[in-house]
Structure 1
């Protein structure tokens, strides 16, 4: 479990432990902007798991470092004798309007989110493939963390949206490649109150009063993650699920839409009416998060 010291990762780790799993609690304890580092939060989650009667170990590997990602996988196998589930959750934000975005802010967010998913998946997949080739049974699960920003876009989060879109594509591709080895790969796009969301969606994510259902509690997301990590989910792979409160929905991927085929090379002057006809026959795209209604309308017609 990467990024498991706080928020969603902590909630997932505790729920897996409640369901009987042994957990490697991976987190380097950085601040929201990726700075600093503190082993304390991961160690605290390990103590919570042990207090529940479970088994856990803390790990401070940088998941976006190829070598350290390999060491993380090896540590899980060496400590518990096997690896069944990889949950990728680590990440941070460097929000900025695109025209103000620095190269460093772009690189760091892509590195932690997208490479941080790819590196752990790559080494876990290698481990499972070797087991499968040796004749050992493999029922392995990868659960990645995408975002509505990556699926629909989000104003002021171009770097984050690009990274999360990459994770969705990586998940689908990995599912197609790795199924032969007994590995499934799915992703969630959660909506919950965490350090990464509380500033952006503060008004919508306030804690409810009294005993009302707290729709934005990160613990609401964890049951689906645990189910996707179970043997019962063996037939589900290459899918992305949105989870918010008590709602679970499947996100529909890019699909082939309306088509005009001239069976010859087009002349540019011909294409205006063709493109406009195609757009009228195709569903209107979902609006980008944070876009005005005018921006949304423009996005649906160009």
Structure 2
């Protein structure tokens, strides 16, 4: 399996189904040895099964690649550390981390339960932090030992986290946090040879087939824009040594790539003194009039 990832070792979380499955298959197709992580839960995070991860491993092996299965809960700090150690033990190195795992528990904000909020934030946001924390510690140690890594991290944000999505407060908050985590990690880890980017994919998965079923439906003929496999070649390049960008978020839908431009300083006013409360309204209205209009929240 020769390709742009020949000789590299990757961890892909949530790789038993959907986008993660396609990422693992594409990375293996491009020559990477892959640790296929999946807890095997249902869409809303219930249950555990190593079956989905093992099925992907068998597909990779049948095509001539190398892969091993892992059933860790990536939001458990110790299990995330063991996941990184498994890659190092099995393959002797780690070059790529693709953080993809997650689930949804959609609710309008006024109906959202605390347990639902905590579960979604945990799997998405902590589930990105924990593997990244352990992998980056390894890469820093390698750099300090004179073995500068050429490591790549691909995080998974979402349009919901960048523009917001009605009925997905927890999911949107987590995915927005992942975009910010990507910026910080890219700035902190570049000195150790690590590039960190994120994707905001639009594709047909278990998480989209419910609320966005009509938009995600496969066409009767022609290019299927919502096929999750469309996203994975971009992930493969971001995971490659050829990737020379860091701290960016790329939206991917079908054959369309869009570089997201996040929070940045816009119009401003400076009184050079403390504001009087009665002055603020006029100033803010003037700033809003000068600024670009925000994109509408999904579902608004």
User: TM-score, normalising length from structure 1?
Assistant: 0.95
1:34 matched to 2:71? The reply is no
How many Å apart are 1:137 and its aligned residue? 2.6
1:217 matched to 2:227? The reply is yes
Deviates more, 1:198-207 or 1:4-13: 198-207
Q: Give the total of aligned pairs.
A: 289
After the TM superposition, list the runs of 4 or more consecutive aligned residues in structure 1 that deviate by more than 6 angstroms. none
Question: Aligned residue for 1:121?
Answer: 132
Question: Aligned residue for 2:206?
Answer: 195
Unpaired runs of at least 5, structure 1:
292-302
Question: Aligned residue for 2:3?
Answer: none
Unpaired runs of at least 5, structure 2:
1-11
Q: Separation in 2 of the partners of 1:261 and 1:41?
A: 57
Q: Separation in 2 of the partners of 1:229 and 1:59?
A: 20
Residues 98 and 155 of structure 2 are in contact (CA less than 8 Å); yes or no, is this contact kept in structure 1? yes
Q: Which of 50, 56, 62 in structure 2 is aligned with 1:45? A: 56
User: TM-score, normalising length from structure 2?
Assistant: 0.96
Q: Separation in 1 of the partners of 2:122 and 2:134?
A: 17
How many Å apart are 1:50 and its aligned residue? 0.3
Residues 154 and 235 of structure 2 are in contact (CA less than 8 Å); yes or no, is this contact kept in structure 1? yes
Deviations 1:174-227 (A, max 9, x none): 0000000000100000000000001111111111113x1110000000010000
Q: Separation in 1 of the partners of 2:251 and 2:118?
A: 26
Q: Which of 246, 249, 257 in structure 1 is aligned with 2:258? A: 249
Deviations 1:79-129 (A, max 9, x none): 011000000000000000000000000000000000000000000000000
| SS at structure 1 position matched to 2:257 | strand
Deviations 1:139-188 (A, max 9, x none): 00000000000001000000000000000000000000000000010000
Aligned residues: CA RMSD = 0.6
1:4 matched to 2:2? The reply is no
| SS at structure 2 position matched to 1:57 | strand
Q: Separation in 2 of the partners of 1:38 and 1:69?
A: 17
How many Å apart are 1:279 and its aligned residue? 0.5
Question: Aligned residue for 1:137?
Answer: 148
Question: Aligned residue for 2:116?
Answer: 105
Question: Aligned residue for 1:297?
Answer: none
Question: Aligned residue for 2:190?
Answer: 179
Q: Separation in 1 of the partners of 2:218 and 2:37?
A: 27
| SS at structure 2 position matched to 1:4 | coil
Q: Separation in 2 of the partners of 1:191 and 1:115?
A: 22
How many Å apart are 1:261 and its aligned residue? 0.5
For residues 44-83 of structure 1, what are the structure 2 equivalents within 5 Å?
A: 44-83=55-94
Question: Aligned residue for 2:7?
Answer: none
Question: Aligned residue for 1:274?
Answer: 283
Q: Separation in 2 of the partners of 1:202 and 1:286?
A: 22
Q: Separation in 2 of the partners of 1:81 and 1:46?
A: 18
Q: Separation in 2 of the partners of 1:205 and 1:65?
A: 32
| SS at structure 1 position matched to 2:215 | coil
